[in-house]
Amino acid sequence: MSLRNVLVVLYDGMQSLDVTGPVETFAALDHFGGRSGYRIRTVSPGGTPVRTHSGLTLVPDGDPEGARPAPGTTLPVPGGRYTADFEPRLTDWLRAHGSGAERLVAVCTGALLLAAAGLLDGRRAASHRMFLDRLPAFGAEPTGERVVFDGKYVTAAGVSSGIDMGLALLGRIAGDEVAQTVQLMTEYDPRPPSDAGSPDKAPADLVARLRAVSPP
Amino acid sequence: MSLRNVLVVLYDGMQSLDVTGPVETFAALDHFGGRSGYRIRTVSPGGTPVRTHSGLTLVPDGDPEGARPAPGTTLPVPGGRYTADFEPRLTDWLRAHGSGAERLVAVCTGALLLAAAGLLDGRRAASHRMFLDRLPAFGAEPTGERVVFDGKYVTAAGVSSGIDMGLALLGRIAGDEVAQTVQLMTEYDPRPPSDAGSPDKAPADLVARLRAVSPP
């Protein structure tokens, strides 16, 4: 079970749900037959607390320089309110050490961070569908899929898709039965009030308005 | 717009997704026409950092005693790995001051915390469906629904249901169009790998096994 060693990248402005979706599914493994050995470590540039987009304050266990991804590490990379200027300490570190992880999992614009670090060159990747068109500039091949597996890279669409990604990953690693039990534990039986969760389903004027206020 | 003033209750062992689901939808309001005025404050017993079940460390802005819910406050209460002994500082504070909030929103076993504080007496409530049968002991009326509105109390089923709850609440407060736009922003277009997210859908042996390892 190689989800025991999880190293999470945190940064100011990140979306908290991008991280909690996957790690809540990973952590649920602990319920089975005692301990799975799940161990999580968080890092942020400079090792300082980060304030998420939703206003929660997360304290990292250290900084990236002190935590090179050991073999067997799963490295979740959350998205955030997209700006053209990614935190350079993070992209530099990902460029230098990211490929040392066993598996890199990005949610939402987290894929853009991986791509900006040169890690998705020539790879198929998902991202928030409103930002998919920014992937090719970094050499990645965008797809409109919810979850994409390509080698050691697992990318997912916007924000909430991290839950789907976590369960899909558990299924591959630990089998469908474990994934289903974790789905039951997290009671993932979605009931969205509308069918408006993607640009091809939401009313066109809402999509246009959202594009208009999205950062460049 | 009365989601501007959000006061989140944090505690050791809480499920991080129970909080990030709702607050990520609330925070998304900020994207519309500039600032919605969304303001969040977090508290924990003693004002000390909490370690969530999934291993993230959250720093509160203060302790409950220093943050009585002012009128207009929405108070999210997350669930956690259930134990019969709730943190008494939290239930005492909820009992004394919880009803001062404009709205209390609980996810998963957060409803049991509210109920243990005597706030759900005679009210209909949702909770994780594996723990619904514990509500009547506190005088609440359990329902198998995903999201339940009863007066100032909004309760949701297990862990991931906080996203559905957040969107349903936005729809009531700000209208369907805002809720749909937030759904698009969080790309809530769920694709669970299985249809196993509730006890009546998951394979019976998985449900039985999960019940067997659930804490008393």
What are the DSSP calls for A130-198, one per residue?
TTGGGSGGGT-EE---SEEEETTEEEESSTTHHHHHHHHHHHHHH-HHHHHHHHHHTT-----SSS-SS
Interface membership of B129 toward A (CB under 8 Å): yes
Q: Is A20 on the interface with B (CB under 8 A)?
A: yes
Separation CA A89–CA A97 (nearest Å)? 12
How far A12 CA sits from the closest chain B CA (Å)? 14
- Of the pLDDT bands very low, low, confident and very high (cuts 50, 70, 90), residue B3 is confident
The two three-digit tokens of residue A195, written as one number: 């069918």
**For A154, phi and psi rounded to 5 degrees?**
-120, 120
Decide: B61 and B8 in contact? Cβ < 8 Å: no
Q: Return the C-alpha torsion angle B80, B86, B90, B94, nearest 10.
A: 90
| Predicted local distance difference test score (pLDDT) of residue A210 | 86
* 3-state SS, residue B52: coil
User: What's the pTM?
Assistant: 0.96
Residue position matching structure tokens 């709850």: B165
Q: Does the beta-carbon distance from B177 to A206 stay under 8 Å?
A: yes
CATH class of the domain at B5-190: alpha beta
ipTM reported for the complex, 2 dp? 0.95
In the block, residue with structure tokens 């809540």: A24
Q: What is the pLDDT of residue A47?
A: 95
pLDDT tens, position by position, A112-126: 999 999 999 999 999
- Nearest CA to CA, how far is B62 from chain A (Å)? 12
CB-based contact (8 Å) between A150 and chain B?
A: no
What gap in Å lies between CA A148 and CA A154, rounded to an integer?
6
Query: CB count, 10 Å around CB of A38?
Result: 18
Q: Which whole number is the average pLDDT over B117-142?
A: 96
pLDDT number for residue A153: 98
**Placement of tokens 């709702």 in the chain:** B22
- Which tokens in the block code for residue B188? 């809530």
A85 is catalytic: no
Tell the residue number behind the tokens 């509105």, with chain if given: B149
B85: confidence class by pLDDT, cuts 50, 70, 90: low
Smallest CA-to-CA distance from B106 within B166, B178, B46 is with B166
> A residues 167-196 near B, CB within 8 Å?
167-168, 171, 176-177, 179-181, 183-196
Contact call for residues B6 and B95 (beta carbons, < 8 A): no
Q: Which of A8, A9, A20 to substitute to test the interface with B, most B CBs within 10 Å?
A: A20
CB B38 within 8 A of CB B4: yes
- Please report the DSSP string for A182-202 in residue order: HHHHTT-----SSS-SSTTTS
> Residue A188: which of B150, B138, B15, B216 has the closest Cα?
B15
> Among all chains, which residue has been given the structure tokens 């990520």?
B24
Q: Is the Cα torsion angle B106, B169, A14, A185 positive or negative in sign? A: positive
In this structure, the number of other CB atoms found within 10 A of the CB of residue A89 comes to 15
Chain B partners of A203 at a C-beta cutoff of 8 Å?
177, 180
Write the pLDDT tens digit of every residue in A73-115.
999 999 997 665 678 899 999 999 999 999 999 999 999 999 9
Task: Give the per-residue pLDDT at A74.
Answer: 96
Low-confidence ranges of chain A (pLDDT < 50): 33
In this predicted structure, what is the pLDDT of residue A82?
A: 63
| Catalytic position from the list A23, A108, A157, A159 | A108
Pairing mode of beta strands B50-51, B57-59? antiparallel
Alpha-carbon distance A171 to nearest alpha carbon in chain B (angstroms): 8
Q: Does A35 touch chain B (CB under 8 A)?
A: no
Q: State which residue of chain A sits closest to B20, comparing Cα positions.
A: A17
The topology (CATH level 3) of A5-191 is Rossmann fold (3.40.50)
Number of C-beta neighbours around residue A101 at 10 A:
24
Answer whether A202 sits within 8 Å of B183, measured CB to CB: yes
Classify residue A175 by its DSSP letter: -
pLDDT digits (tens, 9 = 90+) for B31-65: 664 556 788 999 999 999 999 999 999 999 999 99
Spell out the domain ranges in chain A.
5-191
CB contact under 8 A, B158 and A186: yes
Confidence at residue B209, expressed as pLDDT on a 0 to 100 scale: 87
